[in-house]
Amino acid sequence: MPNSNFRSAREAEFHDRAFTEDVRARTAKFYAVTEISKRFYVDLITRKCSGARVLEYGCGPGGYATDLARAGATVTAIDISESAIELGRQEAVAAGFAEQTSFHVMNAESMAFPEHHFDLICGCGILHHLDIPRALAEVIRVLRPGGRAIFYEPQGHNALIKLYRRLTPSMRTEDEHPLLWSDLEAIRLQFDAAQFHFFHLLSLVSFPFRSMPGYGFLLRMLGQTDRFLFRLPRLKRQAWVVVMDLGRK
């Protein structure tokens, strides 16, 4: 069995357990800071998607299939975890979007879709679990000319985030790899257009204050400061999150 198959099996096993046992529930509080970047991502993928054929690339509970369907898209969602697929399907049914959505257990590095099938492909926290060259080749294959691919991913340069990852090993698989600057450059070269949006530097220090009055205001102010700091190229690689807006002609 090729190494990629071993890796896929490990990822599936981990995420089946993570979704059914809620492995990450104890640390969800640490992700309150991502409110700004998640809102940006959702706005980006749902904007002007009415009538579009969309692939959610790595889905499950907390995914965005229902947001996309609500915005008028026809959504296909895939994940390597059977538990993720079943929970995502249940969410879509409960929200009343069963007819606009379909869910499939599938390896994102080897998809069973025809060429040029989707207008938009989007994924949140998925690429860093994959072999990026293989995954991007599949994204490009199934994305129609003129289509867009939008991904929300963690970066791996910030020392504080590196420490956090070392302190929470149960939340990780052995194969995942936060994106490095070299990964972003390789991704840029695969598309005709690429915009990278960076989030969370000073806003990372807001975590201890999340239960205090005025936390929302503090987070917004630090987010605005981050936007100013990320005008400096060297600071962009210190961001926790990058949202990639990619296009092909």
Q: Is the pLDDT of residue 12 over 90?
A: no
Residue 169 in tokens: 């090993």
- Residue 119: pLDDT over 70: yes
Q: What is the mean pLDDT of the chain?
A: 87
Q: What is the CATH number of domain 3-247?
A: 3.40.50.150
User: pLDDT tens digit string along 98-109?
Assistant: 999 999 999 999
Q: Checking phi first, is residue 243 left (phi over 0); if not, alpha (psi -120 to 50) or beta?
A: beta
Confidence of residue 2 (pLDDT cuts 50, 70, 90): very low
Residue found by looking up tokens 């538990």 in the block: 83
pLDDT the model gives residue 212: 85
Please count the CA atoms within 13 angstroms of the CA of 192 that sit on its side-chain side: 10
Residue that is written with structure tokens 């002007």 in the block: 48
**CB distance 151 to 126 below 8 Å:** yes
Give the pLDDT confidence score for residue 198 in this predicted structure: 97
**124, 44 contact by CB (below 8 A):** no
Q: Which residues contact 69 (CB under 8 A, 6 or more apart)?
A: 75, 92, 95, 97, 100, 101
> Above 90 in pLDDT, residue 122?
yes
Residue 147 is encoded by which pair of tokens?
């289509």
Tokens of 19: 């979704």
Residue 156, token pair as written in the block: 């791996």
Is the distance from CB of 241 to CB of 39 less than 8 angstroms? no
Short-list 114, 107, 113, 112, CA closest to 135: 107
State how far the Cα of 219 lies from the Cα of 46, in Å rounded to an integer: 24
Query: Is residue 111 pLDDT above 50, yes or no?
Result: yes
What's the average model confidence in pLDDT over 19-26? 52
Domain extent listing, the chain: 3-247
pLDDT band at 15 (very low <50, low <70, confident <90, very high): very low
More confident residue, 145 or 176: 145
Is residue 193 packed enough to be buried (19+ CB in 10 Å), middle (13-18) or exposed (0-12)?
Answer: exposed
Does the pTM surpass 0.85? The reply is yes
- Give residue-wise pLDDT tens across range 32-70: 789 899 999 999 999 989 999 999 998 867 789 999 999
pLDDT digits (tens, 9 = 90+) for 199-222: 999 998 887 788 888 888 998 999
Residue pLDDT, tens place only, 151-192:
999 999 998 888 888 877 666 666 788 999 999 999 999 999
Q: Is the pLDDT of residue 143 over 60?
A: yes
Tell me the average pLDDT across 15-41: 68
Look at residue 18 and tell me whether its pLDDT is greater than 90: no
